[in-house]
Each structure stands twice: as C-alpha cells, then as structure tokens.
A and B are shown apart, each in its own frame.
Chain A
Amino acid sequence: MQNVRLKNIAPCGNEKQVKEIYLQHAPGLIFFARKFVDSFTAEDIVHDVFLKLYHQDPGKLNENGIRAYLFSMVKNGCLDYLQHLKVEKTYVAKAQAQLKIEELRWYDSNENIVSNEKLNAIYNEIEKLPPQCKRIFIKSYLEEQKHADIAEELNISVRTVEAQVYKALKIIRDKLILFLLPFII
C-alpha cells in the first residue's frame, strides 16, 4: 500500500519544488521553534526535519498532512534539544526550563502553524484596547520597557502596570481564542 502511494506522487527531488514547500511551511515552523530555543538552533531543528524527509521519504513532502507532520517533528526536535540542555542550578532557571518543556507538550500535533495574518489580527486588537491599558501594553510588550520604568514614567505602581498588562493579554486572548486555536472539528 505504501509503495503504491509513493509511486503515484511525483518525485520531489528538484530544487524548485522543495524550495516552494520549504518557503511555504518553514517561516511558521521557525517562528514556533524560536519560542523555545535560540534562533540559530531553531533553524537547525527545522533544517534537520527537512533534511531527514528529503533523504528518507521525499514523497511525503507532497502529501496533504505534511504541515501537521512537520509541526510534530519540529516540536520533537525542540523537546529533544531542551531535555539535553544544561541549565543553571538555581530554582528559577530550572523552573523556567521545565515550563518550556511543558509548554511544548501542551501543543498538540494538529496545531495550526502561525502566519503573518494572525500577527496582524493581534495588532488590530491592541488598537482597540482601552486607552490607559493600550498605552501600558504597548510600552511593556511592543517597546519592551521594564515595568519599573513604566510605573515611574506614568506615576503609577508596578502592580498596576502588571494588572493592566494582564488585562490587555486577557482581552486579546478572549477575542482571538477561536482564531488562534487549531482547527475546530
């Protein structure tokens, strides 16, 4: 059965075809991997997945389920990397490393890979936040300012800053929950 399937699919060995498939799927995969590992390792992990497929089962690259398959391979690559990573011995460092692993496991294989579209949807939601909330959120997330600095600048407490940031995240998440979630069957 497997052989028949492979024979029916055009061989996927040429540069143009592989490139097209790579450019279609890899940006979202690299973006995903970068949440967990540094940007070079992220690319390496994605490359390894494509290399393996290319050399072992190039026919698969043309199949319908390829996106989900690539995603789960990249996820496993990240897990493997994190589990072998040497972590500093402090409690916080260890807990943060463990949190990354848990987050990876939380994603299931049918996860939709992100596209630029979704990023724009977030920006649109930021625009709609209440004024004070939006102001603080932009400073904290888009401008990556320290919360202590924001608090001083706006003459409010750090806890207020944190509460407003949480509020903004929660609003965006609640509005986009259907959009951000994987396919709903």
Chain B
Amino acid sequence: MKNNIQEIIVRVLKNDVLEEDMRFFSEWLDSSDENKNLFFELKRVYDYRKEGSYPDDSEMEASWERLWKKIQGKKHSFKKKNTPLRRRKKLSATRWRVAATITGLLILGATLFYTQRELPVAWVEVQNPARGNPLSIALPDGSTVQLNASSYLKYPKKFKRRGREIYLDGEALFDVVKQNGNNFIVHSNKHKIKVLGTKFNVMDYSSDAYSVTTLISGKVQLETFNEEKNLRDRVVMNPEQQLRFNAYTGEITLNQVDIRETTSWINGIYSFQDVPLQQITDRLNKIYGVTIIIENEKCRAEKYTGKFSLEQDIEEIMRIINFNGQFNCITRDDTIILQQK
C-alpha cells in the first residue's frame, strides 16, 4: 500500500512530489491510455480553478492593445528591411520570454478570482521590457521600487493588513518604509526575502541559475528553498553585504562589496570587475533583449573588467568586449555568436 496511486496523483497535481513517487507515477501513466485519460481529465478539473489564470476583461483589453502595437510594428519593420539590431522587434515566443513587444510601460490589473464568496485580490503587474529604462514604481505603502529591464513585478493594489507581499522576476532596487513591525516580503524565483524597512537590490531572473542580493542599509533575512519547496537556508544579511546564491549547487557566498557598483544600473551604468564573460553576457541579454552565445567553454569563464552605459548600443559593446579581436562575431537577428578565433 505504500505506493497508492490516488495519493500520488494528488501530489503530482499539487507539484509536491518526490522522485520515488514520480517514477511510480510515470510508469503508471505510460501503462495504459485509460490511465492517461483519467489523469489528464483530473488535471483539467484541477486547472480550471487556477487562480487568476483565466484572463478577465480588463486584462484582455490590455492584451489586445499589445497585440495591436505588434501588428502595427510589424507592418513598419516590413518597409524598412535593414533595421538595426537594437531596434528590431522580437516576435518569436520561443526566445527570451520577456524581451517581447512593447516600448515603455505595461500595466495591467489582473483580478484574481477565488470563490464567489471571497473578495477578489486586485494585483498590479508591471513588466519592463528589454532595453527599457529603469522604471520607478511607488507601492501602496509608500515604498519605492526601481525595476530594471527584462524584469517583472507584481504587487496588490492594496496590501493586506498583515504582511506586505510582492513578486519579482528580474532585478529591482527596493526602498522599503518601516510599518510597525509589519513585514515586507519579496518572493522571487529562488528565494524569499523578509524585511522590516530597508534598502536592498535583488537580481533573481528565473532564467538564470544564480541570484545576487545586495543589502544597502537596514537588515534583511533571506531564505532559500530546495525543490520540494522546503527551507534550505536562512541567512541574515548586514549592510554592504552581497549574497550570491547558486540554485544548482545550493551554495551561498557572502561578500563585502562596493554598493555603488551594484546600484549604478538605475543610472544606466553597468560596471563589472573581474567577472566571468558569461555573467556579463547574461546581463546584456536581458538589458538589450539579445541572445549572446559563447561557443567555447573556456572563454565563458574568462574574466573581464569594464563599464558600459545604456546609451551605448549592443554592437558597440560587442566591439569593446572583442577589443583584441579574439572572437568572430556572428550576428543573426537578435542572436550573437562569439566564436573563438
């Protein structure tokens, strides 16, 4: 009775599953079409009520506006054949997922619906596209957020009385106001950061294997989780400390850093000191909405020092990186391949 398939099905649906369960489940699923039908039908019932994922009218209105902009944008780019790289719009959904679409700010209020009995929570979603300038956002409690390019923030129109919780995918600089012991919690892809009132910078893109959190003032508590969503580590950070977390190894490193360099992005300046090339290109991918591929593994780890400004275009930055002519730069649409010569 240890492997009860009904209970395992529920765990699979709930995304709370161990390797042993998953192996048993996969075997069960593959063993007959009947099992497949049963599971996928149950999953369909389960998915029907997934909170907020059925778009409401106001969300669809905003979604239509974005589509219409794309339709017009595409017409335009058909006329001008040799659009420079940095202006070219990205249309393939398989690419970098937030690099899409519009210039400027995109806000949509998505109303999540629970049961008819409960009051819906209204959320505000902000997406700053690739190549977007840092966006300044005022939260309902008076805290402020600077949101970097290719980044996403979701916060409620009104905070609950206890616990101010927001969601981030990407990079943001937070300045949180104190509120009588009322916690402020940032949920991001790899961790959860709990603060009372402080200033800190979080870079946690779901597309990256690592995250970097820098505390400027005050105190924060950062929690990391394993795949089963159980707490792995809890670290309390002090000012001017920078925490790097590697999601693959679970490794945490804590360093003392110059905070000016961490926050200079809000002024459009990116500086790197002895940073592996791969980490620099990871960043450029998000800022410029490109995909840079370094073919040689050794070259990825090579360390570079330099400073870029948002005013420079990606071609210029690639020329700077390639100062020695060590690479052949092959550009195809928004993909740049660096081949070692």
A-side interface residues toward B, CB under 8 Å?
15, 18-19, 22-23, 26-27, 30-31, 34-35, 38-41, 43-45, 47-48, 50-51, 54-55, 77, 80-81, 84, 88, 90-93, 95-96, 98-99, 102-103, 106, 114, 116, 118-119, 122-123, 126, 138, 140-144, 146-147, 159, 162-163, 165-166, 169-170, 172-173, 176-177, 180
The reply to whether B51 and A15 contact each other, CB–CB distance below 8 Å, is no
The reply to whether A45 and B93 contact each other, CB–CB distance below 8 Å, is yes
**Chain B interface bracket (under 10, 10 to 19, 20 to 34, 35 or more):** 35 or more
Known: A90-B227, A92-B19. A44 touches B45 (CB 8 A): no
Query: Is B273 close to A, CB under 8 A?
Result: no
* B148 → A minimal CB distance (Å): 16
The reply to whether B67 and A22 contact each other, CB–CB distance below 8 Å, is yes
- Contact string, B74-98, partner A, CB cutoff 8 A, digits 1/0? 1000000000000000011110011
Q: Using Cβ atoms and an 8 Å threshold, which residues of chain A touch B45?
A: 122, 169, 172-173, 176, 180
Residue in A closest to B48 when the chains form the complex, CB atoms: A122
The reply to whether A38 and B49 contact each other, CB–CB distance below 8 Å, is no
In the complex, what distance in Å separates the CA atom of A153 from the CA atom of B179? Answer: 30
Query: Is B115 close to A, CB under 8 A?
Result: yes
Known: A93-B227, A123-B115, A172-B45. A27 touches B60 (CB 8 A): yes
In the complex, what distance in Å separates the CA atom of A118 from the CA atom of B29? Answer: 26
* B250 → A minimal CB distance (Å): 12
Across the interface, B100 reaches (CB within 8 A) one of A40, A55, A180, namely A40
In the complex, what distance in Å separates the CA atom of A126 from the CA atom of B7? Answer: 19
Q: Using Cβ atoms and an 8 Å threshold, which residues of chain B touch A173?
A: 41-42, 44-45
Residue in A closest to B41 when the chains form the complex, CB atoms: A173
Q: Using Cβ atoms and an 8 Å threshold, which residues of chain A touch B41?
A: 173, 177, 180
Q: Using Cβ atoms and an 8 Å threshold, which residues of chain A touch B10?
A: 147, 162-163, 165-166, 169
* B154 → A minimal CB distance (Å): 10
Q: Using Cβ atoms and an 8 Å threshold, which residues of chain B touch A146?
A: 16
The reply to whether A51 and B74 contact each other, CB–CB distance below 8 Å, is yes
The reply to whether A142 and B94 contact each other, CB–CB distance below 8 Å, is no
Residue in A closest to B63 when the chains form the complex, CB atoms: A43
Q: Using Cβ atoms and an 8 Å threshold, which residues of chain A touch B16?
A: 146-147
Please classify the interface of chain B as helix (H, G, I), strand (E, B), loop, or mixed, using the class held by over half of its residues. helix
* A76 → B minimal CB distance (Å): 11
Query: Is B68 close to A, CB under 8 A?
Result: yes
* A111 → B minimal CB distance (Å): 10
Query: Is B11 close to A, CB under 8 A?
Result: yes
The reply to whether B22 and A92 contact each other, CB–CB distance below 8 Å, is yes
The reply to whether A141 and B7 contact each other, CB–CB distance below 8 Å, is no
3 interchain residue pairs of minimum CB distance: A162-B7, A44-B93, A166-B6
Residue in B closest to A31 when the chains form the complex, CB atoms: B54
* A138 → B minimal CB distance (Å): 7
Other than A95-B23, A118-B48, give 18 A-B pairs with Cβ distance below 8 A: A15-B68, A18-B71, A26-B64, A30-B55, A35-B50, A41-B93, A55-B71, A55-B74, A88-B227, A91-B22, A95-B26, A119-B54, A142-B49, A147-B14, A166-B6, A169-B42, A173-B42, A180-B44
The reply to whether A48 and B18 contact each other, CB–CB distance below 8 Å, is no
The reply to whether B40 and A103 contact each other, CB–CB distance below 8 Å, is yes
Please classify the interface of chain A as helix (H, G, I), strand (E, B), loop, or mixed, using the class held by over half of its residues. helix
Query: Is B53 close to A, CB under 8 A?
Result: yes
* B316 → A minimal CB distance (Å): 29
Query: Can you list 19 pairs linking A and B with CB atoms under 8 Å apart?
Result: A26-B60, A27-B54, A35-B50, A40-B100, A41-B93, A47-B93, A48-B92, A55-B71, A81-B93, A92-B17, A98-B26, A106-B36, A123-B115, A138-B115, A141-B49, A142-B49, A162-B7, A166-B10, A173-B45
Q: Using Cβ atoms and an 8 Å threshold, which residues of chain A touch B174?
A: none
Q: Using Cβ atoms and an 8 Å threshold, which residues of chain A touch B54?
A: 27, 31, 114, 116, 119
In the complex, what distance in Å separates the CA atom of A54 from the CA atom of B68? Answer: 11
In the complex, what distance in Å separates the CA atom of A70 from the CA atom of B60? Answer: 17
Residue in B closest to A169 when the chains form the complex, CB atoms: B42
Q: Using Cβ atoms and an 8 Å threshold, which residues of chain A touch B26?
A: 95, 98-99
Across the interface, A142 reaches (CB within 8 A) one of B66, B67, B98, B115, namely B115
